[in-house]
Structure 1
Amino acid sequence: KICFLIIDVQGAQSILKVRPDAISIFLLPPSLEVLEKRLVNRSTNDIEDVKNRMTIAKREIDMAPLYKYSVVNDDLEECVNKINEIINKELLTLNSK
């Protein structure tokens, strides 16, 4: 069976404990500065929310090496293409077993 989950770092940790063979992809911002600009430009968070989210993001980004893949979300179309390539590669590997 194949299942796609879009989950936060804590959820991924839980899944990987149960299924260490799961294919994990960590989406990274191009930089912390870009991430902060994106959060501010959304206009849905006040400055305190942005600060809190940046603190959490820094902690979570440190966990990226625990994932099988990391993809930088700089250009949306390019990011989607990279994720599709990873999925296709993994499906080919799975189907060849």
Structure 2
Amino acid sequence: MSITKYKTTENSSSIQEVDVIRETASFVYLPRFGGGERREAKQSSWDYYHDSWEEAHAYLMKLAESHVKAARRELELANGRLGNIKGMKPPEDAK
């Protein structure tokens, strides 16, 4: 009997349905090619395993929203730097 999980990856906009053999609080166990099983962390710096598609989708939405927020902050800083540079005047002794 397998358990269905939904895997998201940090820099991806996809949700992958995955059948796992078993799970613990921290790990999922996937079938290994050629027999046996391999263990993966449910939450790593790269991949997350979710219990439902909706949970995986909500996670990706939150992640994407935080990326947009960070990009907006960076754009504001860049525009501020640009404004400072545009407002620069040469020193009076510059030739």
| TM-score interval, smaller chain | 0.3 to 0.5
What TM-score results when the alignment is normalised by the length of structure 2? 0.37
Per chain length, whose mean CA-contact separation is higher, i.e. which structure has more relative contact order (CA < 8 Å, sep 6+)?
1
Answer 1 or 2: which has greater strand percent: 2
Which structure has the larger Rg over C-alpha atoms? 2
Which structure has greater helix proportion?
1
